[in-house]
Amino acid sequence: MSSALGSRAGSHDLYRRLDAFDRSQFGLEQRYRALDRFFALPSGREKPGRFWRVDFETIAPPAAQIEPGAGTASITSRDPAAVVCDLATAAREHPQLLARAFDTSGIAATKFGALARAFTGLGFFAYVPADHACDEPIEIRYDSPARAAIFPWTVVLADRGARVTVVERVRGGPGAFVCGATEVVSAEHADVTYAAVQQADADARIISSRAARPGRDSRMAWSVAELGGELSAGDLHVAIEEPGADARIAALFFPRHAQHVDLVSTVEHRAPEATSETLVKSAARERGQARFLGNIRIAPHAQGSDARLRDDALLLSPLAHVDSVPALEIGANDVKAYHGATVGAIDAEQIFYMESRGIETSAAERMIALAFFEPAIECFPSPELRDEIRAAVAEKLT
Amino acid sequence: MPELGLRIANLRCRVAGNEILKGIDLTVEPGRVHGLMGPNGSGKSTLALSLTGHPQYEVTGGATLDGEDLFALSPDKRARAGLFLSFQYPASIPGVKVANFLHAARQAERPGDLPPAKFRALLLEKMEQLGIDPSFMGRYLNDGFSGGEKKRLEMLQLAVLAPKYAIMDETDSGLDIDALKDVGRSIAALRESDEGRNTGFLIITHYPRILQYVVPDIVHVMIDGRIVMTGGHDLANRIEREGYDKIRDDKHRTGAVV
């Protein structure tokens, strides 16, 4: 993918592009500093090697692809009690609400989060007031046209006792570059589910940074399906800073042909008596490559934490490759922590059993592979969305 | 007119280099019930799995199903030809729901014969016959099932697929008397149905107990990879009385009919 990569040599062009962005909002000075960080910071991701062919340190959008106003985006909510608007409107009309969540997660201090911060413009803000439950999901779409670069930034703020589900769909045309960020902040007893389904074109590059900070005794769930793109790099972060929070991460990805997926999930237990569960299901076909790094960090004072991490990868072709690295750092002594990981081909006994019921080998493999994803698919919030994901996975199995 | 029956001739089978089956000749005729008894390790399950087409078994000899050469067929085609094995240890497949699996199997074996609503009705009827809770339909295939639940699910598949020939591999093991009676009733119900009137059964067991609930027409005894004795229902009673040791001692009577 070297042809599509930017380089340091072209970095002046990226700075020049900043001048085209709105100076009055999100701070031109902050944009410059964010771009500095993007160039200065290491990605912290795997270096290219025998299996891995992506060099994250040299990834940058071609400056010529960057236009303010590029891409189409929409947000739909039928709930008049929720505040739902684009970021610029939120900055103008709800600055105090926005400030409670926007740029508070530390995303902008990471390499690609800083890139998204530098070119912030496209994006939405959703606020759900205290004790209000949104019965229908808030739906967000981001779509990058071919050979464009977009930097969507989504902010969700759920007040005390609020309940909301957000469904985000990302698409990108051929050669698109999408570098997005999502921040979710909730107050006590809130219940937030954020589901994201990415189905970009096969040679698009999609980088996403997602961070949540759940309130005391609240529930926060990330459900993420990375299905498209030549490169899909994701960072899923939950910082538990209040006791009693329940955090769920479910992720699935399925690289095939020349697709690469690099996913890092991190759950930080920095408060006592919180639970977290991370569930990752992946498959790879042809020369598809994926890496998953699952971090669980339990701080010394986070007693009574209960953290689980389960990660299974299915290899459907001899050249497919999935690296799976669970990483637990446990500083407290009164905790429960579990992790389990498997990487392997479909079990021959399962195929034989299905064949013995008249089901052809290829159909059996399809059913088993689809089924393999099912526990992760079931974490997505609506039957329609789950069917959409099943159809996309089934498509990748044909 | 093809020769009817599940006809096995001089079947030999090696597993991981060891010869387990040393020349089996056996014919299961349509509508008949055969009991196949023998001590642990005699090769009964190997016979079942080699007929079904287990990928790791090296098989020589012949087997035909109503004239069709089984060993020329892949396992799925053998099933579509009408062969069914009730597994002793069925695989669990998390994520595949029982109802979807059964529908896929029925569609594979009898394409388009039942619209989904009728299939569902059939499934519910068979589940009731077997004393299976309808919640089974939404569970994942054998995932977290108890031994007894797995056996009931195998029986449900037998009922739904109504094969021409059914091999029941130790369906009785791990079942209590009530469950065993359900198995007996379910086989009887299949044999009384239009679809299953001509089904031939090969009931593999280690204890004679199940044969009180499904009375066999013919009983075979297998020891060390060979059928050493064939007889009527009485043979099962004799094994109950005397055990396999006596028969092992009388091995010179290979093939003798008592």
Where does the pLDDT of residue A5 fall: very low under 50, low under 70, confident under 90, or very high at 90 and above?
A: very low
Q: A375 to chain B: nearest residue by CA?
A: B95
Question: Which residue of A lies nearest to B157 if distances are taken between CA atoms?
Answer: A357
Asked if B95 lies within 8 A of A360 by C-beta distance, the reply is no
pLDDT at position A2 is 37
Region of B255 (left: φ > 0; alpha: ψ -120 to 50; beta: rest) is left
Judge whether residue A234 has pLDDT over 60: yes
**Considering only alpha carbons, which residue of chain A is nearest residue B105?**
A357
Q: Which structure tokens are listed for B72? A: 């020329």
Task: Report the pLDDT value the prediction gives residue A4, as an integer from 0 to 100.
Answer: 36
CA distance A377 to chain B (A): 10
Segment A149-187, tens digit of pLDDT: 999 999 999 999 999 999 999 999 999 999 999 999 999
Q: Write the DSSP string, A115-150.
A: HHHHT--SEEEEEE-TT-B-SS-EEEEEEEPTT-EE
Task: Measure A369 CA to nearest chain B CA, in Å.
Answer: 9
Interchain proximity B93–A353, CB inside 8 Å: yes
Tokens describing residue A187: 């107050």
Q: Which of A252, A353, A366, A378 has the highest number of chain B CBs within 10 A, making it the mutation to test binding with B?
A: A353
Residue B85 counted as domain residue: yes
Do the Cβ atoms of B104 and A367 come within 8 Å?
yes
Query: Are the beta carbons of B11 and B59 closer than 8 angstroms?
Result: yes
Contact (CB, 8 A) for B202 and B166: yes
Q: Which helix (H) or strand (E) holds A345?
A: none
Contact criterion met (CB below 8 Å) for B70 and B63:
yes
Closest CA to A195 of A137, A136, A275: A137
Q: Establish if A258 touches chain B: CB-CB under 8 angstroms.
A: no
Task: Count how many domains chain B has.
Answer: 1
* Contact flag B76-A368 (C-beta cutoff 8 Å): no
Residues of B with CB below 8 A from A347's CB?
A: 91
Q: Which of A175, A197, A209, A170 is nearest to A44 (CA)?
A: A209
- In the Cβ-directed half-sphere of A308, how many Cα atoms lie within 13 Å? 8
CATH number of the domain enclosing B161: 3.40.50.300
The residues of B whose Cβ lies within 8 A of any Cβ of A are 52-55, 74-76, 78-80, 84-85, 87, 90-91, 93-96, 100-101, 104-105, 108-109, 140, 157, 161
Report the C-alpha gap between A359 and A24 in whole angstroms. 63
Question: How many angstroms separate the CA atoms of B140 and A377, rounded?
Answer: 14
Nearest CA in chain A to B82: A358
With cut-offs at 50, 70 and 90, classify the pLDDT of residue B257.
very low
Report the pLDDT averaged over residues A69-92. Answer: 94
Q: What percent of chain B has pLDDT over 70?
A: 96
The string of pLDDT tens digits covering residues B35-58 is: 999 998 999 999 999 999 999 999
Q: Is the CB of A63 inside 8 Å of chain B's CB atoms?
A: no
Handedness of CA A20, A24, A29, A33 (dihedral sign): negative
Nearest C-alpha in A relative to B140: A371
Contact of A383 with chain B, judged by CB distance below 8 Å, is answered with no
B76/A358 CB distance under 8 A: yes
Q: What residues in A contact B85, CB-CB < 8 Å?
A: 356
| pLDDT exceeds cutoff 80 at A280 | yes
Residue A158, number of CB atoms within 10 A of its CB? 30
Q: Which of the four pLDDT bands, split at 50, 70 and 90, describes residue A36?
A: very high
Q: Is A136 on the interface with B (CB under 8 A)?
A: no
Q: How confident is the model over B75-94, as a mean pLDDT?
A: 96
The string of DSSP letters for B18-42 reads EEEEEEEEEEEPTT-EEEEE--TTS
For the cut 70, the answer to whether the pLDDT of residue A7 exceeds it is: no
Segments making up each domain of chain A, as ranges: 2-396
Encoded tokens for B175: 């079942």
Q: Is residue B1 part of a domain?
A: no
Buried b (16+ CB within 10 A) or exposed e, B186-212: bbeebeeeeebebbbbbbbbbebebbe
Which residue in the set B76, B80, B104 is minimally distant from A361, CB to CB?
B76
Q: Do B87 and A354 touch (CB under 8 A)?
A: no
Which residues on A lie below 8 Å from B95 (Cβ)? Answer: 368, 370-375
Of A350, A361, A370, the CB nearest to B91: A350
Domain that holds residue B48: 6-89+145-257
CA-nearest of A122, A37, A31, A119 to A73 is A122
Quick one: pLDDT at residue B258?
43
Mutate to test the interface with A, among B96, B109, B158, B160 (most CBs of A within 10 A): B96
In a domain, B167, yes or no: yes
Q: For A296, phi and psi rounded to 5 degrees?
A: -125, 125
Query: Measured between beta carbons, which residues in chain A are less than 8 angstroms from residue B100?
Result: 367
Q: Which residues of A touch B105 (CB under 8 A)?
A: 354, 357-359
A346/chain B closest Cα distance in angstroms: 10
Across the interface, which of B75, B108, B161 has its CB nearest the CB of A352? Answer: B75
**A375 and B94: CB-CB below 8 Å?**
yes
Q: Which residue of B has its CA nearest to A348?
A: B55
CA angle A13/A152/A186 to nearest 5° reads 135
Q: Rounded distance, CA A356 to CA B86, Å?
A: 10
Interface confidence (ipTM) of the complex: 0.95
Instruction: Check: CB of residue A223 under 8 Å from CB of residue A252.
Output: no
Q: Are A84 and A77 in contact (CB under 8 A)?
A: yes
Q: Output the pLDDT for position A102.
A: 96
Closest by Cβ to B95, choosing from A354, A360, A375: A375
Question: In angstroms, what separates the C-alpha of B258 from chain A's closest C-alpha?
Answer: 35
Is the separation of the CB atoms in A266 and A295 below 8 Å? yes
Residues A100 and A45: beta-carbon distance below 8 Å = no
How confident is the model over A38-47, as pLDDT tens digits? 999 999 998 8
Instruction: Look at the block and give the residue holding tokens 């779409």.
Output: A141
Taking the C-alpha atoms of residue B74 and residue B52, their distance in angstroms, rounded to an integer, is 9
Nearest CB neighbour to A372, from listed B78, B79, B95? B95
A394 Cβ under 8 Å from any chain B Cβ: no
> Contact A349/B52, CB-based, under 8 Å?
no
Chain B contact for A74, CB < 8 A? no
CA distance A105 to A238: 10
Question: Does residue B136 form part of some domain?
Answer: no
**Among residues A65, A49, A56, which one has the least CA distance to residue A10?**
A65
User: How many percent of chain B have pLDDT more than 90?
Assistant: 66
Q: What is the pLDDT of residue A10?
A: 57
Strand-strand pairing, A205-213 and A177-186: parallel
Contact B84, B52 (CB under 8 A): no
Band of pLDDT at residue A27, cut at 50, 70 and 90:
confident
For residue B104, the chain A residues in CB contact (below 8 A) are 354, 357, 359, 363, 367
**Are the beta carbons of A356 and B140 separated by less than 8 Å?**
no
Is B137 contained in some domain? no
The structure tokens 């991370």 sit at: A278
The 3-state DSSP class for residue A162 equals coil
Q: Per the confidence metrics, is the pTM higher than 0.90? A: no
**Distance (Å, whole) CA A310 – CA A383:** 23
The pLDDT tens digits for A203-223 are 999 999 999 999 999 999 999
Contact A217, A185 (CB under 8 A): no
The whole-angstrom separation of Cα B142 and Cα B158 is 15
- Torsion A114-A119-A120-A122 (CA) sign: negative
Which of 313-372 (A) contact B at CB < 8 A?
Answer: 347-350, 352-361, 363-364, 367-368, 370-372
Burial of A24 (0-12, 13-18, 19+ CB in 10 A): exposed
